[in-house]
Amino acid sequence: MKTITGIAPVNIAVIKYWGKRDEDLILPINDSLSCTLSTDFMCAKTTIMASPTFTTHRFWLNNKETDFNNERLNNCLTEVRKRASPECGDLLNWKLHICSENNFPTAAGLASSAAGYAALVSTLAALYGVEGDISAIARRGSGSACRSIYGGFVRWNKGVKPGGEDSMAGQIAPAAHWPEIRVLILVVSDDQKKYSSTNGMKQSVLTSDLLKHRTEKIVPGRVDEIIRAIKMKNFEAFAKITMQDSNQFHAICLDTFPPCFYMNDVSRAIIELVHAYNEFQGTTKVAYTFDAGPNACLYLLENDVDEIVSLINDIFPSNINPSDFIRGLPVKVKNLSDLRETLKIQPQTPGKLKYVIHTKIGDGPKILSEASDHLLGENGLPKNL
């Protein structure tokens, strides 16, 4: 019997992946770029147990047994096994029990599938002793998962080969290159999203002319520009491109027929707040980006966290315990109602924001070595069931 547990981070794109040229191989129509978030507050964890006594493969996701017969899961497993170390021997014939958990809401536009597949593939790779890049395998689970294989600032090269061998992620700079960057995740809704990214982007490829323009004319230049901004630690340039790319992605969602709406009124109030604050400061202090859901991800610098979180706290009052409302790294919240009035922003009714996670950029997946880390017990069943 062999048991192994790994964790993998969430990543939030600043240049979005939206659209595939090959649905089965998950090959994108454009390059994308993201920041990998620290696993301290948001991560997916996977335990894999292989045993000669197991009769079938079994899979538990967030404490519910789920059908193993899932194409993406099986594609990842097949690809990892093709690259197994020659020393694996019989291990390759043993059935697997896999248990996976996220410590944040699944499918709410919070990149849960990216972290989940990155955890699955990196743990499988450790089980079978796979060497070299595994991002092209994680890509077979969920496109954005390939970027969670690396820490820091990560680019997914779309590649040109029909088989997708060159469609893989690579690190632009490690987290330590720009340690002052902070990230705020503003959780607007815990609900499962109605229109998945997979379906949304498929429809965009079929119907949106704006998407063609973006892919051909906009993304190549933007990727080069944001890489320059990251290398020079130019926050203003980084922030502006991030916001413009998020806005263009949501414009494409609207240009899709029938359209897909991911942002809601609270998301739009967050956008207005960010622009009002940046204008008041006379410089770009904070950037927003939204994926396929209403939750916002804000990028900012360490020195501005207290003021911006205090302002958010004033505009979006919580209806829960303050310590549950602001989670993650410490923040000093002060009363900023004067600044809010200067910005001419009305407070929202309490509870529009569920909670805020304050985090930073972090490293890639890790294998955990303590037996207490395993999600599966000695009997091969989830400890939490």
Binding stretches for ligand DP6 (CB under 6 A) = 13, 16-17, 26, 32, 113-114, 142-144, 197-198, 291-292
What number of other Cβ atoms are within 10 A of residue 230's Cβ?
Answer: 24
Nearer to ligand DP6, 291 or 314 (CB): 291
Nearer to ligand DP6, 39 or 144 (CB): 144
Q: What are phi and psi of 129, to 5 degrees?
A: 60, 40
Residue 116 CB, shortest distance to ligand DP6, in Å, is 10
Structure tokens that stand for 353 in this block: 């924001």
Nearer to ligand DP6, 114 or 305 (CB): 114
Residue 259 CB, shortest distance to ligand DP6, in Å, is 15
Nearer to ligand DP6, 191 or 279 (CB): 191
Nearer to ligand DP6, 36 or 144 (CB): 144
The edge-to-edge listing of strands for the beta sheet with 181-187 is: 286-290, 296-301, 181-187, 355-360, 326-328
Residue 156 CB, shortest distance to ligand DP6, in Å, is 8
Answer positive or negative: Cα dihedral of 97, 163, 291, 301: positive
- How far is it, in rounded angstroms, from Cα 33 to Cα 226? 9
Residue 96 CB, shortest distance to ligand DP6, in Å, is 22
Nearer to ligand DP6, 20 or 352 (CB): 20
Residue 255 CB, shortest distance to ligand DP6, in Å, is 15
Residue 152 CB, shortest distance to ligand DP6, in Å, is 16
Parallel, antiparallel, or unpaired for β 181-187 and 355-360? Answer: antiparallel
Residue 290 CB, shortest distance to ligand DP6, in Å, is 8
Nearer to ligand DP6, 7 or 169 (CB): 169
Residue 320 CB, shortest distance to ligand DP6, in Å, is 27
DSSP one-letter string for 36-100: EBPTTTSEEEEEEEEETT--S-EEEETTEEE-S--HHHHHHHHHHHHT--GGGGGGGGSEEEEEE
Nearer to ligand DP6, 13 or 44 (CB): 13
Strand partners, 144: none
Structure tokens that stand for 373 in this block: 């880390």
Residue 56 CB, shortest distance to ligand DP6, in Å, is 26
Burial class (CB in 10 A: 0-12, 13-18, 19+), 317: middle
DSSP one-letter string for 250-294: HHHHHHSSS------HHHHHHHHHHHHHHHHHTS--EEEEE-SSS
Looking up tokens 């890639």 gives 364
Parallel, antiparallel, or unpaired for β 355-360 and 326-328? Answer: parallel
- How far is it, in rounded angstroms, from Cα 349 to Cα 353? 10
Minimal CB distance residue for ligand DP6: 143
Looking up tokens 């996977």 gives 46
Nearer to ligand DP6, 16 or 354 (CB): 16
